[in-house]
Chain A
């Protein structure tokens, strides 16, 4: 079988793999990206499953993508456009609503409609969340320091971190420590009294996470959804024009513009290790590619349990990899529609429909959805994050037609301990469609095609273990210097020349491109090359 030599091989053409590869190629390395699917993008893809309809069939919205990387890799010139959508609403079972408005006073009145005090608490809540955002944002494009290390760089980074921490002031430091460990429900109780407001804001605390609103650690997950921005508007979300595949396409264009090479339909079977160092990869078809640097864009569990032989890696490390917390908790429906569904509670022409829609009443109801997951099945009243991107993006469907992206929480990786069957999948689909139809009488009559994605489909097609959207849960035991494993948070693996660049590394998932860039910095540092990755923009 033929063999080809490269300076570095990146396994997986997800957005982080492509970001990593783009930085390495720009630094002058000869880089190869191998992708097992016939298309690139991992979970940031635009797929035409139904003719004429383009779905962002995995990740579907964008906010966390680091603007520094966007600019540095000239993604705008490579065709990437992020369009903010605004709006967003929760609809209750009694037909009331709670809308998102960008105008501060309008938002205050919307809250005051449900509780006059909460209208004013909203200011305190926003300020506190913004403080946490401002604290964490500068850390996203930095490699986490190893707190056990005495290397000058680790000490320097620890000092930076503690300096940022001290800047918060005594009261906020206490709040911050509590914030990182508390539940989203407890956090909401510090501000609000309305059940609907608490539930509405708590959604961001559970998305993609196998935890309930009362589980410790979910407050941080909310922050993870708030710390991004669209053009400086922190907390705003947008669509990638043309679908999330546009992100991957632009990154791939940046990569190939620097001479990079992408091979699709190229599933990697194993990483070749010789004398404790990587020397390349072998594909399932036997082809080998050689390089002294191999970077994995796969999640940490898959990386070490599938690409490596047990013999090449220490036993306790392998145990950690096997136990990496990457539980399946969500699914997705992509629905082609022949027209625009009317939601009874909103009436026609309500601008809130441009954003994310949810059907919920209270934290208790959301916790019941989690109870179903714990007992081994999908939620009978799931939490939905529903958007109609075609209302904003004219490029995704024929004019006048629409598509609906429905993210569904909670969906287990297995049903009562056994694999998903097609019958389960059909029943799951009906649970979701029935919920939507209760709020939109004409919805079902408009359905033209439904793509159902349970953790089974997401794992099999995208390669995310259990279909976990973040490549591993965002809890304190797996964040910062603990991500993915303590002692291995600086993107280097347990074998010489092996690196990790996926969302399973700091700062985690959400289509940020930060893990890929941070990993490139470490690789180039090991090669004694200058740091190519821009620093995060300060905003204080």
Chain B
């Protein structure tokens, strides 16, 4: 915590500004903000459609400072993380990042996030939800230090086809050689800038991590060099469209964190979120292992699917029907995809539905000039991302 958040009068400031605020507030001509944990973050800066377009055409910057971060170090850091997380953390070498989930003992997902193996034995865990309680409980018996450093490190996502060119321009020489999920360190303004080739857009992109004192300098360097590369700030709305196109899930939206779910049937296992690839039974024991083995044997209750839906009305919160007769699930995220030119959605369906040949329909309600209408739209289950440009993985990264 920042010291000022822990004084008696902390209530006088309910919502804080990130270290980038001097710049983001200048750029937010729409004055549209929302709350993300302790901070205020832009919904949109000047035009959602153009901010989104920058992600897919040039590059866009998102302030992700409020992301929950924990520093995990100590002799047992690896052993601890392997107990916490369902995938094999030993395979994440220094200088690499891994996407992962962690479960409660019942095998239900508490949160998803990214593990950064920075220097050997020095890890950072980034997540949507706060985790200190669960991490500490899971660390019992391990020689490990867990520190929440959410407020000590700030970050921006720089996403889009020209993002690599911009980073080269601010002095990250050789950054184009970083492969997806690799980390690089570069001297910056008398300090160190950590760059990871990660993101939430499914495009070429990076996340930049810096200490708060250098935040404004980083922002200015990006926008100074980026001017010739079409850089724009982006708010949460633009990011949301791109993350659904990428097929990524979000806690509290596409799944209920298991430790917050009051009704047990609301939580989901990794298998039920189409994340079975992140569960490795061949590694030592981990939280939820026994329950997940059991689930593998008995079968899952739900299936997360990606749907391509006919027509152009986003199927937000729609019921999904089997052959227009029985409700078999609900849509959790839906958008019109400008890049895939498709009407896309993530949905949670009851088993056994969600196979490619199922005849699924979405019941979509939409409003035009205060009048509500309903359409039943045919859904097609699609594998993987809705939009997956080759530049996302190309190494060395291209300039545009």
**Residues of A that sit less than 8 Å from B by CB:** 67, 70-71, 75-76, 81-86, 102-103, 230-233, 236, 238, 241, 351, 391-395, 399-400, 537, 539-540
Contacts and interface: CB of A to CB of B under 8 A. Distances in A.
B229 A232 contact: no
11 contacts: A71-B341, A81-B57, A82-B338, A85-B50, A231-B338, A391-B230, A394-B57, A394-B58, A399-B229, A537-B312, A540-B368
Nearest to B59: A394
B70 interface: no
A392 B165 contact: no
A229 to B, nearest CB: 10
A-B CB proximity, top 3 nearest: A394-B400, A231-B338, A83-B57
B339 A76 contact: yes
Contacts of A83: 53, 56-57
Given A230-B49, A233-B49, A540-B368, A76 B387 contact: yes
Contacts of A236: 49
B336 interface: yes
A232 B56 CA distance: 18
A392 B47 contact: no
Contact of B57 (A76, A392, A540): A392
B228 interface: yes
Given A70-B341, A399-B165, 17 more contacts: A67-B312, A76-B342, A81-B57, A84-B53, A86-B47, A103-B47, A231-B338, A233-B49, A392-B53, A392-B230, A394-B162, A394-B229, A394-B400, A399-B228, A537-B311, A537-B312, A540-B368
With a 10 A CB-CB cut-off, give which of B57, B229, B341, B400 has the most chain A CB atoms. Answer: B341
A29 to B, nearest CB: 25
A230 B53 CA distance: 11
B47 A81 contact: no
B33 interface: no
Contact of B50 (A71, A76, A84, A232): A84
Contacts of B47: 86, 102-103
A233 B53 CA distance: 13
Given A102-B49, A395-B400, A400-B228, A232 B341 contact: no
Contacts of A232: 312, 336
A80 to B, nearest CB: 8
A236 B336 CA distance: 16
Contacts of B228: 399-400
Contacts of B365: none
B46 interface: yes
A149 to B, nearest CB: 31
Interface string B335-355: 010111110000000000000
A230 B161 CA distance: 20
Contacts of A231: 49, 336, 338
Interface string B157-175: 0000110010000000000
A351 B57 CA distance: 17
A392 B58 contact: yes
A248 to B, nearest CB: 17
A399 B46 CA distance: 24
A399 B229 CA distance: 7
B261 interface: no
B30 interface: yes
Interface string B5-48: 00000000000000000000000001000000000000000110
A539 B368 contact: yes
Interface residues of B, number: 27
Nearest to A71: B341
B49 A81 contact: no
Contacts of B312: 67, 232, 537, 539
A495 B26 CA distance: 66
Contacts of A67: 312, 341
Given A537-B312, A540-B368, A241 B341 contact: no
Contacts of A539: 312, 368
B318 to A, nearest CB: 17
Nearest to B241: A231
B162 to A, nearest CB: 5
Contacts of B230: 391-392, 394
Nearest to B371: A540
Contacts of A230: 49, 338
Contacts of A102: 47, 49
Contacts of A103: 30, 47
A241 B162 CA distance: 13
Contacts of A391: 230
A76 B342 CA distance: 9
Interface string B360-392: 000000001000000000000000000100000
A251 to B, nearest CB: 14
A81 B400 CA distance: 14
A311 B400 CA distance: 55
Interface in B168-213: none
B311 A81 contact: no
Given A71-B341, A540-B368, A241 B49 contact: no
Nearest to A134: B368
A232 to B, nearest CB: 6
B241 to A, nearest CB: 10
Nearest to B311: A537
A75 B341 CA distance: 8
A494 B165 CA distance: 56
A248 B57 CA distance: 19
Contact of B342 (A71, A81, A85, A399): A71
B338 to A, nearest CB: 4
B231 to A, nearest CB: 10
Interface in B196-245: 228-230
With a 10 A CB-CB cut-off, give which of B46, B57, B336, B339 has the most chain A CB atoms. Answer: B57
Nearest to B30: A103
B377 to A, nearest CB: 11
Nearest to A391: B230
A83 B162 CA distance: 15
B289 to A, nearest CB: 39
Interface string B74-85: 000000000000
A337 to B, nearest CB: 13
Contacts of B338: 82, 230-231
Contacts of B229: 394, 399
Contacts of B336: 231-232
Contacts of B57: 81, 83, 241, 392-394
A391 to B, nearest CB: 8
